[in-house]
Amino acid sequence: MVEELMDNCIQYFEQQSYSPLRIDRYKLLWKSKLIPYMVQKSILYYSPSVGEEYIRSNISGSMISPYQRDIIRSIKVLSEFQQEGTISKCYRKTVKHELSGQIGQLMDKFLQHLKFLRRCKTTISDHRLYLSRFLFYLDSKGVSAVEEIRQKHLLSFVSTQTNSQIGIVSTIRFFFRFLYEEGFIHDNLSTVLQHYKWVKKKKLPSVYTAKEVPQIESSISREDATGKRNYAMILLASRLGLRASDIAHLTFDNINWQNSLIALSQFKTGKAIELPLLAEVGESIIDYLKYGRKSSDSQRLFLYTRAPFTPMSGAAVANTISHIINTSGVETTGRKHGAHAMRHSLASRFLETGNQYLLSRRLWGTRIQRRQCLICE
């Protein structure tokens, strides 16, 4: 019976240290969504095909809400537990913005063209997101062929977008310019948006002073695993200026304990950099690895501290650092409060004191050679 399967799955969650809130969430979704569906269909025994049929019948469309994603995940983990007796440590599925129909196929051709031009994956991913929004809008207006698209559709769509409007306009421009140059349309609709020009105002980056940064760092309690991890992450941002994406993707291989260096290829630019492994930074990493990091096969340094103990994403690192700064007691009004603010603050101190700031910090020297063996114990 499905109730027995759910009870066994919940017991597994508890053994794997899932949070009570997450367990309660699964129980609620099963009882409010899946069980009523099975009762309605007179289904006595659960199977993965039952779960898939529920998803197909009740969740559709190109825009899936976070609540719907939770429902899908609750069913997926139940099916996996029934089949495997375990649940994957990472069950996050990348959201793929589908581009269907004749217009969607042309959008795919455009994205392939960008790949040929060797545009970076992040840029192409942004274009796909904005194009999927435009395609969804066209579907809502009953437009299914590129020949049916008119100026009013472009202008109306852009006017409804409140987030990333500059990026959206650029994507639409590039897409219709591509269609015109490749002969898919006879009129160059990209000119419709040529009056959408923004003068990018010069803005001073958010900077925290040499007194405020230590206050932010010291505000973290290092008594538990989360505090030890967060302290190491904030030091990587404040002392070395690493981006949140680079902190998230940091691996054991990036740390050269013997030569007191951190070497990595930057996630955003792909450029290789080497940074000195400062004493405070190295000590914080060792403290986290020995007393905070959960057991994992992952080569990534920083993991979530709640089960499943998977590598943190760049967004999670960014949110964590933002929360640390917000709760540190430092005044943030009118200033951004993330890893980039720490990066800008470090650059500001470089300008004030010269590049000797970073080099004047105590490097590990021979001390790291004495301590590196502790990580392997």
- Helices (H), ranges, the chain: 2-15, 20-29, 35-40, 48-58, 66-84, 101-116, 121-140, 151-160, 165-181, 212-218, 225-238, 244-248, 279-291, 314-326, 339-353, 356-360, 366-371
Give the whole-number percent of the chain exceeding pLDDT 70: 86
Task: Give the CA distances from residue 96 to residues 92, 154, 243, in Å, rounded to whole numbers and listed in that order.
Answer: 12, 23, 25
Phi, psi dihedral angles at 192 (to 5 degrees): -60, -30
pLDDT value at 60 more than 80:
no
Between residues 187 and 160, the one the model is more confident about: 187
Between residues 351 and 207, the one the model is more confident about: 207
Distance CA 75, CA 359 (A): 53
At 224, the pLDDT band (50, 70, 90 cuts) reads: very high
At 253, the pLDDT band (50, 70, 90 cuts) reads: very high
pLDDT at 63: 63
> In angstroms, how far is the first alpha carbon of the chain from the final one?
46
Give the whole-number percent of the chain exceeding pLDDT 90: 43
Average pLDDT, integer, range 202-229: 89
pLDDT at 368: 39
Q: What global pTM score does this model have?
A: 0.52
Q: 145-171, pLDDT tens digit by residue?
A: 999 999 999 988 888 876 667 888 889
Selection from 232, 244, 228, 250 nearest residue 337 by Cα? 244
Average pLDDT, integer, range 355-363: 45
Q: How many Cβ atoms are within 10 Å of 234's Cβ, its own excluded?
A: 25
Distance CA 322, CA 174 (A): 34
Distance CA 305, CA 19 (A): 10
- Helices (H), ranges, 211-304: 212-218, 225-238, 244-248, 279-291
At 82, the pLDDT band (50, 70, 90 cuts) reads: confident
DSSP label at 375? G
pLDDT value at 356 more than 80:
no
Cis peptide before 48 (omega within 30 of 0): no
Distance CA 121, CA 181 (A): 23
Q: Which of 50-64, 117-131, 143-157, 318-332 has the lowest mean pLDDT?
A: 50-64
Q: 296-320, pLDDT tens digit by residue?
A: 889 999 998 887 788 998 888 988 9
Chain-wide mean pLDDT for the chain? 84
Selection from 228, 230, 227 nearest residue 238 by Cα? 230
Between residues 204 and 250, the one the model is more confident about: 250
Average pLDDT, integer, range 33-49: 88
pLDDT value at 93 more than 90:
no
At 201, the pLDDT band (50, 70, 90 cuts) reads: low
Please report how the helices 165-181 and 101-116 are oriented relative to each other, as an axis angle in degrees rounded to 10.
90
Distance CA 70, CA 293 (A): 27
pLDDT at 307: 77
15-29, 190-204, 236-250: which is most confident? 236-250
Kind plus residue range of the DSSP H or E element containing 265: strand 261-265
Cβ atoms 303, 294 nearer than 8 A: yes
pLDDT at 369: 40
Cβ atoms 140, 100 nearer than 8 A: no
Distance CA 276, CA 84 (A): 45
